[in-house]
A = this chain, B = another copy of it.
Amino acid sequence: MAAEDADATLSELGEFAVIDRLVADRRQPPAVSLGPGDDAAVVFAADGRTVVCTDMLVEGRHFRLDWSTPHDIGRKAIAQNAADIEAMGARATAFVVAFGAPGDTPTAAAVQVADGMWHEAALLGAGIVGGDTVAAPQWVISVAALGDLGGREPVCRDGARPGDTVAVTGVLGRSAAGYEVLRNGIDGFDELRRQHRVPSPPYGQGAIAAQAGATAMTDVSDGLLADLAHIASASGVSIDITLDTLTSDEAAVADAAGATGVDARQWVLGGGEDHALVATFPGAVPPNWRVLGTVAATAADGAPAVTVDGSPWIGNAGWQSF
């Protein structure tokens, strides 16, 4: 950014100059046929299908500007959309971004959001190919992600079958722990704070799970039990997980749980936003995936259910959107 613009607000600079700043010096990956600057972008889809999803983040609801840097927020917005693409067994190739903010927002902050988005997209080899910038009373970031299935069938939530093994890759409970540390204003626990601000989905593992024959998959955005319940319900099966398989996740958040007076298992079983991937496999589980439990037929007189060590779990049911 030119020095004279460094302190300019969005309204001082104006939409087109802001967009020029946001798109300057970005290098698009080979999957992008036409990048930003026209009415729309063009992304290659050699597979003949495009995977697509969208997620919106609202200031004060999904992030706080006093907790996260604009760079963090940009990374998180891309990561949570990319995780949804991974959960289909696909790879994110491109993102479009709509960014709403008050006119007195420093343009430098918007550029930092874009930098964070590009940082995260680069981890995937993907590009930010287009967007929209508008005036809004608070920050609102809406991302849509495109993904490539690489010739594989998508892994949906409805394919889990009795006898399948349930496994997870990525971390659990960290984001929820970091949130509580931040909310309570407790010192320390920098790594947990960081993991709340910017999740680390296990990029690439979605495609690996698909190649390994995963029958169902989702990302952990609402909480492990809540997201497993989506698979159980869609597949018409029941799922039981073994608490002992989660000791490493519990251990990672145990000190923070002690400091905030929370049961660490509530974070591990009920905390969302880490964007781990959880899937069901009829055969062997790929490297880097940890077995959590098994899929069983739902009892003739019962509904699909998720149990922990054979019993219903009483506790945090996961994230509520409204």
Cross-chain contact of A54 among B44, B97, B156, B157 (Cβ < 8 A): B97
Using Cβ atoms and an 8 Å threshold, which residues of chain B touch A322? 10-11, 13-15, 18, 103, 133, 135
Using Cβ atoms and an 8 Å threshold, which residues of chain B touch A61? 134-136
Using Cβ atoms and an 8 Å threshold, which residues of chain B touch A56? 98-100, 132, 134, 136, 140, 142
Most chain B C-beta atoms within 10 Å of own C-beta, residue among A14, A43, A136, A137: A136
- A244 contacts chain B at the CB level, 8 A cutoff: no
- Whether A157 lies near B50 (C-beta < 8 A) is no
A129–B144 alpha-carbon span in the complex (Å)? 12
- A240 contacts chain B at the CB level, 8 A cutoff: no
1/0 contact trace for A132-160 toward B, CB 8 Å?
Answer: 11111110101011110100001011000
What is the minimal beta-carbon distance from A102 to any residue of chain B, in angstroms? 9
1/0 contact trace for A37-60 toward B, CB 8 Å?
Answer: 111111111111111111111101
Cross-chain contact of A62 among B134, B140, B142 (Cβ < 8 A): B134
Instruction: Using CB atoms, name the residue of chain B closest to A98.
Output: B56
- Whether A54 lies near B98 (C-beta < 8 A) is yes
- A85 contacts chain B at the CB level, 8 A cutoff: yes
Cross-chain contact of A48 among B45, B52, B90, B321 (Cβ < 8 A): B45
A156–B40 alpha-carbon span in the complex (Å)? 9
Q: Which of A81-100 contact B (CB under 8 A)?
A: 83-85, 87-88, 90, 94, 96-100
- Whether B14 lies near A321 (C-beta < 8 A) is yes
A interface list, Cβ under 8 A from B: 10-11, 13-15, 18, 33-34, 37-58, 60-62, 83-85, 87-88, 90, 94, 96-100, 103, 129-138, 140, 142, 144-147, 149, 154, 156-157, 217-219, 234, 320-322
- Whether B90 lies near A52 (C-beta < 8 A) is no
Closest 4 CB pairs of A and B: A144-B144, A142-B142, A15-B321, A40-B53
- Whether B48 lies near A46 (C-beta < 8 A) is yes
- Whether B39 lies near A43 (C-beta < 8 A) is no
A53–B39 alpha-carbon span in the complex (Å)? 7
Instruction: Using CB atoms, name the residue of chain B closest to A19.
Output: B321
Using Cβ atoms and an 8 Å threshold, which residues of chain B touch A85? 39-40
- Whether B97 lies near A42 (C-beta < 8 A) is no
A90–B34 alpha-carbon span in the complex (Å)? 14
Using Cβ atoms and an 8 Å threshold, which residues of chain B touch A33? 49, 154
Using Cβ atoms and an 8 Å threshold, which residues of chain B touch A54? 96-98, 130-132, 142, 144
